Structure 1
Amino acid sequence: MPEYHIKYYILPLMSSVCTCSHQDMLNFPATDVLGYKKRTHLQPHFVVEDGIRSVQDKLSKGVDVQFGVTLTKVESRNDCVELTWTDSNGVAKTETYDLVVLGVSPDVAASVFEPVKSSLGQIPTCKVETVAHTDYSVLPPLYHAMEKHVVSSADSLTALIQSEKIAQGIHLWTRDGNTEAAHEQPCGVIVTTNPLKSVDTDRTIRSAKFTRVLRTPESRNIINDIFPKPRPLRDGLTPGWTNGQGGVYLVGGWCWDGMVLLEGCIVSAMRVASSLGVQIPWEQNKKRTAM
């Protein structure tokens, strides 16, 4: 592909989707980008209208949730799995369970679960910052020119967006091999990921850092061996731990053969449910529709 097209179109767009630098994106397997484009081309994108918190509340209903817990060790025993952690007060505890599902990044899994220490320890990650704020001055200059002629405040800007039936606008800003994504919410809040410009602290609502799992051809092979499809092992490959062995399962956006996205969380969770004989509601509905 033309270098100009890669540098000024593909890399800013795809690195904003993957929240990583352009160089990190260039290290991804080409099949990740091609697969993403193939599956999303001309397909609608959806957001949760009343916020992701409503999804979290529904998923966690009836589940004993504990915050401030730091997992330190996972060990498979003969007929159970032993977990060791420290609670929010720093008190160490150990309990046994029939099965354990770990929804953590690969670096965390490698640090607490010995069978995957050497393999998942090789998967690259990076830290990404996200800021929720109302500082419209950090949006691109072209946008300010439009804003100056059309609206005079953040409130009227939000009204304009809603009147035009634009659910959410996203602005990309690239500098020195990195791309910032500023995601406008209908309520007037901006969520900026990988900020390249300083956001006014007085207009900052909340900021956080999270781990982004990256991809390389080597890490793709590691993940495909842990989550195997029915196929013979490649020549020269020594069989290792696979998902579910010893009563331990891994789930997450990185636990599938593709770019690290929320879709991977769903696919990996469905895989665990199927292996445990749990009915997946939308799969059942699909069968009824087909009949």
Structure 2
Amino acid sequence: MSIPSSPPPKQVRVAIVGSGLTGLVATYLLTASSNNNAPNITVDIFERASTLGMDSASISVPLPLSSSASHPVPVGLDEEGNRSRKRLKVQPPPDSVLRIDVPMRAFTGGYYPQLLALYRHLGVQTKKTNFTYSFASLPSPSPSKASHITPSPNILYNGANGFRGLSLPFSLQPPRPIQVRSVLEQVSRVREYFGSVLMLAVGYLQLLILALWHHHLGHTCDVTHPIREHTLRDLVRDPFPRRSSASKGRSYTLRSRVGHWVERGAEDILRRWVGLDEGFAHQTLTPLFSAVMTSTLDSVWSCPASEVLDYIALTLGKDHFVVKDGVRTVVAKLLREVEEHGPFDHIIFATQANQTAHFLRQYIDSLTPDAEAERLRGVVDVLERFKYEKSLVVNHTDRRMLPRHEGDWRDLNLVSPTHHRGEEEDEWESDNASNDTLVSSDGYTMATHILTLPPTARELLIMQTTNPLPSLQPDPAHVLSRSTFERAVIDVEAHVARQGLFTHSPKGAVQTAGGRRLALGPLQAGAGGVWVCGSWAVGIPLLEGCVVSAQLVAEEILTLEGATIPAYARW
């Protein structure tokens, strides 16, 4: 008598469109082996770039720089510029080669808990890079003047979470030789400088109070609190928005009602002393977030105030990190072999929200009207709320992009466009701003990162500039590479709409920044078939959103297919 053999495991095929960090994390989790009774899951990745992964735009630069280094070969192309069919093999770069991540992949401990946990799980080495900063501004180019102007910083921040303080810009240091007239002028400039430093200190202290108050009281994740629909511009007008009468009428426990009463009393007192200073926001806060988000200054002003406040609260006192040997080590550890294409049981769109919306619109047109088509229309409606802005990253050796005096150089040198008061002023601007020039809401803050070189090449200077200003462009003769990206920007409309795809929930499967838990939203939970994920899923669109959203989608697919992520693949 023969014993019937157990049926073969179910074959499940998943297609993933896009191989950035989101697609790679989903691939890694889905292809991790599970128990013998689990289905056999294979994953195919579709990517239009020459290589898989978040490393596709990065470059390797030989040291010392030679004439051939002006046009280094990007990863994934052979010497003739053809696509390489070889798998990515990662070895630590020798001291004679500098690996440059494009774009820069720095992250802060408090805002990226899942990203850091993933890197630790994979054994990816990171290193602390607590950046120093310089802040400068440049006027719009004038036809009557030379087009190239060297930035002169007005703030030099020495890093270490503020413990190293600020430095005096070179333009304010005592002149040589010393003359009575020049000394008097210098005293006046130094006095004005220390006035601006005082404004910076007070503005930062007020911002911290605002951030810690709204974050730790849960206002930033409370869907009924008006701060959730405040933009950063609104926060200048009203830093402590009052709850509406509708929310006051909700049924609360006695403890909650007492808590709200105490909260309102405290906010009435805080309103007299604490606000988001407009000058501080113009000169420091928005340029910094324009660089962090790689978005225009106008988009920063339209960003949900709750996301900015969460970022400030969660990164307070935390270190910055980068991957020690470049992000290609992450790609190599996450990547699995890909096989023949189709048919598929699941498709994960790990592309930009606008690209995914385009794909899905065409797919919906091929469907008969049913519940799935209606669900996908809802998904497309959410994805179309996200706006994208182009960002340019240039690696180069042009010292003109830095402040004129080397003593003013910092790790990250920020330069914002300015306009004179009276030129295209925003109607909401208050009368208490005293500067003659303001950071314009048009254009980007340019960020020039001085790259850390191996000890054998410390005499060289290589920089990565993100979004060069029209009046301050690197000399083409000194350019190593140019890469263009599209980056998601978050506004209040998209911030509210994305709850349909990913939502905060006490029972959420994944814990993200601030200990908050995230779950799939009603448009994705238990749906199956077509899935969407990406950096835009939670918080400011950064790498943490890639990891969190990919985890949620991968775990949901495995649950639907009767499988689980094995212990060795969890972090």
- Normalising by the residue count of structure 2, what TM-score does the alignment of the two structures yield? 0.37
1:173 to 415, 431, 435: 415
Preserved CA contact (<8 Å) 1:15 1:25: yes
Instruction: Indicate whether 1:190 and 2:463 are aligned.
Output: yes
Conserved 8 A contact 1:126-1:214: yes
- Kindly state the Cα deviation for residue 246 of structure 1 after the two structures are TM-superposed: 3.3
What is residue 218 of structure 2 aligned with on the other side? none
CA distance in 1, matches of 2:325, 2:445: 28
Question: Which of 537, 555, 558 matches 1:255?
Answer: 537
SS in 2 for 1:20: coil
Compute the displacement of 1:281 (Å).
4.9
Structure 1's 219 and 243: CA in aligned 2 closer, same or farther, altered over 3 A? farther
SS for the counterpart of 2:449 is strand
| Cα distance change on mapping 1:170 and 1:264 into 2, 3 Å | same
**Which of 302, 307, 310 is 1:32 aligned to?**
307
- From 341, 354, 364, the counterpart of 1:107: 354
CA change 1:230–1:130 in 2 (3 A) is same
CA distance in 2 between partners of 1:6 and 1:12 (Å): 8
Distance in 1 (alpha carbons) for counterparts of 2:411 and 2:342: 47
Which residue of 407, 415, 421 maps to 1:146?
407
Task: Find the counterpart in structure 2 of residue 134 from structure 1.
Answer: 397
Contact persistence 1:32–1:259 (CA under 8 A)? yes
Query: Which residue of the partner structure matches residue 553 of structure 2?
Result: 272
Aligned in 2, Cα 1:272/1:35: closer, same or farther, shift over 3 Å? same
1:87-140 Cα deviation digits (max 9, x unpaired): xxxxxxx83212222211110010001323333122111111111111122112
Say whether the 8 Å CA contact 2:353–2:534 is kept in structure 1: no
In structure 2, C-alpha distance between the alignment counterparts of 1:2 and 1:246, rounded to whole Å? 48
CA distance in 2, matches of 1:133, 1:244: 48
Residue 527 of structure 2 aligns with which residue? 245
Partner-residue secondary structure (3-state), 2:445: strand
Q: Tell me if structure 2 keeps the 8 A contact 1:227–1:243.
A: no
Q: What letter corresponds to residue 97 of structure 1 in structure 2? A: F
Partner letter of residue 58 of structure 1? K
Q: Distance in 2 between matches of 1:261 and 1:30?
A: 16
- Does residue 64 (structure 1) correspond to residue 326 (structure 2)? The answer is no
How far apart, CA to CA, are the structure 1 residues paired with 2:349 and 2:491?
Answer: 22
CA distance in 2, matches of 1:27, 1:122: 14
Question: Which residue identity lines up with residue 132 of structure 1 in the other structure?
Answer: N
Could you tell me how far 1:58 is from its partner in structure 2? 1.7
C-alpha offsets along residues 122-174 of structure 1, whole Å, 9 cap, x if unaligned? 21111111111111221123xx3428xxxxxxxxx9xxxxxxxxxx8111111
User: Residue deviations 1:247-284, cap 9 Å, x none?
Assistant: 2222221112x111111111112222332232475855
Q: What residue ranges of structure 2 are gaps of 5+ in the alignment?
A: 1-275, 362-375, 419-439, 454-460, 507-520, 559-563
* 3-state SS in 1 of match to 2:481: strand
Q: Aligned residue for 2:96? A: none
Structure 2 residue aligned with 1:211, among 486, 491, 502?
A: 486
Q: Supply the AA of the counterpart residue of 1:46.
A: F
Alpha-carbon distance between aligned partners in 2 of 1:171 and 1:230, rounded to the nearest angstrom: 39
CA pair 240-279 structure 1, distance change in 2 beyond 3 A: same
Q: Helix, strand or coil: the match of 1:101?
A: strand
* Aligned-partner Cα distance in 2 for 1:95–1:54: 29
Give the secondary-structure state (helix, strand or coil) at the position aligned to 1:198. coil
Name 2:328's counterpart in structure 1.
53
Q: 1:125 to 1:6 in 2, by over 3 A?
A: same
Equivalent position SS for 1:96? coil
Q: Contact 1:270–1:280 at 8 Å: present in 2 too?
A: no
SS in structure 2 of the partner of residue 100 of structure 1: strand
Deviation at 1:245, TM superposition (A): 2.6
Corresponding residue SS for 1:206:
strand
Check conservation: 1:12, 1:172, Cα contact below 8 A: yes
Partner of 1:70: none
Higher relative contact order (CA 8 A, sep 6+): 2
Q: Is the 8 A contact 2:382 2:500 kept in 1?
A: no
Give CA deviations for 1:26-47 in whole Å, capped at 9, x if unaligned.
Answer: 1111011011111111111110
Worse-superposed segment, 111-120 or 207-216: 111-120
- Once the two structures are superposed, residues 56-99 of structure 1 have per-residue CA deviations (whole angstroms, 9 ceiling, x without a partner) of 12211x33299xxxxxxxxxxxxxxxxxxxxxxxxxxx832122
SS at match of 1:171: strand
Q: 1:250 to 1:281 in 2, by over 3 A?
A: farther
C-alpha separation in 2, matches of 1:103 and 1:193? 24
Q: Letter of the aligned partner of 1:269 in structure 2?
A: A
The aligned amino acid for 1:63 is E
TM-score normalised by the chain length of structure 1: 0.71
1:214-241 deviation per Cα after TM superposition (whole angstroms, max 9, x unaligned): 111110111111113449xxxxxxx973
Report the AA paired with residue 64 of structure 1. V
Are the counterparts in 2 of residues 20 and 126 from structure 1 also a CA contact under 8 Å?
yes
- Gaps spanning 5+ residues in structure 1: where? 67-93, 148-156, 158-167, 232-238, 285-291
Task: Tell me, in whole angstroms, the C-alpha distance in 2 between the residues paired with 1:21 and 1:14.
Answer: 9
Q: Could you tell me whether the CA contact under 8 Å between 1:253 and 1:261 is conserved in 2?
A: yes
Aligned mates of 2:320, 2:567 — CA distance in 1: 22
Tell me, in whole angstroms, the C-alpha distance in 1 between the residues paired with 2:412 and 2:305: 25
Given that residues 15 and 21 in structure 1 are in contact (C-alpha distance below 8 angstroms), is that contact kept between their aligned partners in structure 2?
A: yes
Q: How many angstroms apart in 2 are the aligned matches of 1:243 and 1:182?
A: 42
8 Å CA contact 1:140–1:173 kept in 2: the answer is no
